[in-house]
Amino acid sequence: KRALITGSYRGTGAGLARVLAREGATVWVHGFEIEPAEEVSRSIREEGHDAHVVAGDIRTDEGALDVASTVGEIDILVNNYGVAEGGSWESPTEDWIDIYQKNVLSGVRLVQALSPGMRSRGWGRTRFVVVLGSS
């Protein structure tokens, strides 16, 4: 199986990528920048597993489509990317919309791009991970 784990360049996402690789999946380690994602991917390969890197800004339609195009056919999508930015209830609506774009719509974009292939192949899994604080 092939797995894309967003935000897997550190923390919980990196751990999820390692576990899926140890279970036999070919993993795609994602980050906004290539270097941190490459470090995680390299450590997975050093353990003898198959890992690749994809960088891109999944907060935009174009960025999510670029990531989806790069990884191609995926069987497992783990939407781990998110931010723990907090404001207060008095924060401007724009701040809430920005957090929603990051924590929800980034994953929705990838589901929209990758789930048709899963359906056509008759198998696929999508998961959203919610973590409050990870390093």
Mean pLDDT within 38-49: 98
pLDDT of residue 82: 82
Give DSSP secondary structure letters for 74-98: -SEEEE---------TTS-HHHHHH
Contact 74, 114 (CB under 8 A): yes
- Looking at the structure of the chain, the number of domains it has is 1
Q: Name the region of 128 (left: φ>0; alpha: ψ -120 to 50; beta: rest).
A: beta
In a domain, 8, yes or no: yes
| Residue bearing the bigger pLDDT, 131 or 20 | 20
pLDDT band at residue 88, thresholds of 50, 70 and 90?
confident
Q: Is residue 51 part of a domain?
A: yes
In the chain, the amino acid numbered 61 is D
pLDDT range class, residue 135, cuts 50, 70, 90: low
Q: What is the pLDDT of residues 10-37, one digit of tens each?
A: 999 999 999 999 999 999 999 999 999 9
CA terminus-to-terminus distance, the chain: 27
Tell me: pLDDT of 1 over 80: yes
- Token pair 């899994």 is found at 125
- CATH number of the domain at 85, please: 3.40.50.720
- pTM: predicted TM-score of the whole model, two decimal places: 0.90
> How large is the average pLDDT for residues 47-67?
97
Examine residue 87 and state whether it is found in any structural domain, yes or no.
yes
- Give 134's pLDDT tier (boundaries 50, 70, 90): low
Asked, for residue 25, whether it belongs to a domain, the answer is: yes
Question: Do the domain assignments include residue 133?
Answer: no
> Of 122, 119, 113, 132, which Cα lies nearest the Cα of 4?
113
Residue 135 lies in a domain: no
- Two structure tokens written together for 71: 């990884």
Confidence (pLDDT) at 112: 97
Does some domain include residue 77? yes
Residue-number span of the structural domain to which 72 is assigned: 2-128
Q: What's the pLDDT score for residue 99?
A: 87
Mean pLDDT of the chain: 93
Is 15 inside any structural domain?
A: yes
Q: Which of 50-54, 58-62, 104-108, 129-133 has the highest mean pLDDT?
A: 50-54
